[in-house]
Structures are given as structure tokens and as C-alpha cells.
Amino acid sequence: MSALGAIECAGGYDYMQHGERADTMSDTTGKGQGADTMSDKIEKSDEEWRKELTPEQYRIARQKGTERAFTGEYYDSKEPGTYKCVCCGTPLFDSDAKFDSGTGWPSFSEPVTNENVRTESDRTLFMRRTEVLCAKCDAHLGHVFDDGPGPRGQRYCINSVSLKREDK
Ligand SMILES: [Zn+2]
């Protein structure tokens, strides 16, 4: 654990494959989730998050809530900037990928990089949706749908509350 922080990003995955996880490689063929191979994952207790976040941020980002449509800070915003995770500051979405979906939530065609977000199947509310989370701290961000514009056809429908924009 202690040595991982010093490893440069470029060498991170290689290190994992040849290092302490080598013994599990034979039976993990094809799984390749990647989520648990990140060496700098942030894990805090609910109590710690509750202290650091506002009640609304805690409800949405840590308890998978949803802000009311057309009420969030960023749904209608066109300001240039980088949208970061409100919990841990990881860059998640760029204003260049933001588009007006008319849904009342900030919508993006793609994340800043695929490594910074992860997805999970969500079957709550009797719907089949794909939840989007911060890869670093597991904050609930929103959902991704495949009816978006652009070459990838994706629409990341994200709660403003889960984001903090850093202006360019
Ligand atoms: Zn985060």
C-alpha cells in the first residue's frame, strides 16, 4: 500500500499486473473490471462524508439521490470549465462535452476520461438504468443513456449537486 502513492500514473497498471495481484491473474481472465485496481481510491465512512458535505450533497452524492429537474446550479450553464467531483475533486466532465438536453439536468456526451467514471447497473424504480459514479470515491453522479448526440451516442445525465465547476 505505502509504495503505491509514489508510482507514476503511466506505470500504475503495469505494476499491478506484475506485483501483488499476480496470483489472481489466472482466474480473472475476462473480468477486467478495473475498478479495484486503482491505487488511489478514496474511501471514507458515511460519517466523514456527512461532515464534509452539505446535507443536499450528502443525500445525492453519497445516498444516490436525485435533484429536482431545473433546480440545479449547472443544468442551464454554458460557462467554460471543468466539472469536478464535489466529493473528491476528480475532473469528470468538460464544458466542451456539455449540451442542452432539455431534461433539466446537466448533460454531457462523454466524460473527461473513461478512467475517472465508472458505471453500474441500476434496477431501482422498476427501470433498467446505468448509474454513473466517480471512479475515485464512488460518488453517485447520475445516469448514462444511449440516446445522446455525438459519435458515441451517449447522454450523461448528471446531478449539478454532484459537480463543482472549475472555470477555465
Ligand atoms: Zn469523487
In order of their start, the domains of the chain are 4-37 (no CATH), 46-167 (2.170.150.20)
> For residue 35, is pLDDT > 70?
no
Instruction: Map residue 127 onto helix, strand or coil.
Output: coil
Beta carbons within 10 angstroms of residue 33's beta carbon: 8
Higher pLDDT, 77 or 19: 77
- Confidence band of 39 (pLDDT split at 50, 70, 90): low
pLDDT score at 26: 41
> For residue 34, is pLDDT > 50?
no
157 is catalytic: yes
Work out the percent of the chain whose per-residue pLDDT is above 90: 70
Beta carbons within 10 angstroms of residue 83's beta carbon: 26
User: Distance between CA atoms of 148 and 74, rounded to whole angstroms?
Assistant: 18
The overall average pLDDT reported for the chain is 83
CA of 23 relative to ligand 1 center, distance in Å: 30
The active-site residue out of 87, 88, 134, 157 is 157
